[in-house]
Structure 1
Amino acid sequence: MKKNILILFSFFAVLSLKAQVAPVYFYGNQVTTDRNKATSYAIYGKLSAENIWTFKRYDLYDNLIQTGSYEDETLSTPHGNFNFYMDIQTFNDFHNTKFKLKGKTRFLSQQGNFVHGVEQGKWMVYYPDGNVLSTQNYVNGELSGESKTFDKFGNVEEGGNYINGKKDGEWISMEGTRKDLYDNGVLKSSILIKQNRKEKRTTNQ
């Protein structure tokens, strides 16, 4: 961890002689001043005249787990694009899958955008092989628009639309076998449908 911090300090210094760079330590997702209790750490710095602080977070084994930027030095207001990274085996354990990627143990698991502290636009979640697991759209921090979850073959497991954070209109669920109708978040009807599921793509498993 110490070696990585020194490298990152040098990186930020090269980018801007006026950069203000500092490490910060986390216990879970809470900032801690006790390095001995830290479960992860981050390096952040103000690299320009704008009030934007770039941010990179690592686990204690120096694996990158998050990148992004904030509007403030206290890292309380995210602003800009965020990327999240995950261990493949952790994903497999959680999802009961068997992904294996040659030469890789980690992958880009999620990405999306914040504007002044709230989610905006499309957020994507990925399988370890890079295929899409889910897509959601946000407007001012609320789910709004199309939302879909896919299986590892690209079939829609759940999908529909949100309006102001509430399901609205027709939704497909139960791995594409049920059709629900929502009105402003209230379930109005539900029917089972028949659907032949076909593998649409291959995966590195």
Structure 2
Amino acid sequence: MEFYLWSDGFMMKILLVEDNKEISDNVANYLEKVMEVQPVYSGGEAIEYLKTYNYDVVILDLMLPEIDGMTILSYISKRALNTGVIVLTAKEGLGDKLKAFNLGANDYLTKPFFLEELKARIIAILKSMGKIKKENLIEFMDIQIDIKTKTAYIGDEKLDINEKSYKLLEYLVINKGVLLFKEQIFDNVCGYGSDASTEIIEVYISRLRKQLAPFNYDKYISK
């Protein structure tokens, strides 16, 4: 699985503005594996969320209830919000495309579309805006984990940890702030087919705490 983060180390936030519930659900279910997605179903809702929260990318339909997509584009542009915008619409006309780009859209994708292409375009926008720090990197405070090389650092110091400790640390960082059950941790660290007892997780957690203690990071792992 890929993980893409903003420059400050958090998962990127997407505002999905689409009044077709089926399309919205499909996009949200696909993207939320690697991104934080907030679906809204009308232009009015979109404006309220944009007033209250910051988003890295807005996925924007043009034909919306209450307030149309072009008006939302104009709202984002006038307020100089630091967000990328992908127009996702059935409108294929050149005039609509030119108007959207003139109002500040970063990209324009017509329906029907491939989810993989939508994600690739999101990532391209985030890279161009400098919001992706590094692919395959996940972070918690000064802990950096490269899920491609399976290595972990605190600051500039590489952690000398074995495979199980690495898997445990990676899983905890990916799910930071989430209450995890022992069985969940066991399945992800040991594998579904493991013959070991779930009690082994307590041993792994105790070992990881000791390895993090010199950096004062053991306190962030609690029961």
TM-score, with normalisation over the residues of structure 1?
0.29
Name the one with the larger helix percent: 2
Name the one with the larger strand percent: 1
Larger RCO of the pair (alpha carbons < 8 Å, separation 6+):
2
TM-score, with normalisation over the residues of structure 2?
0.28
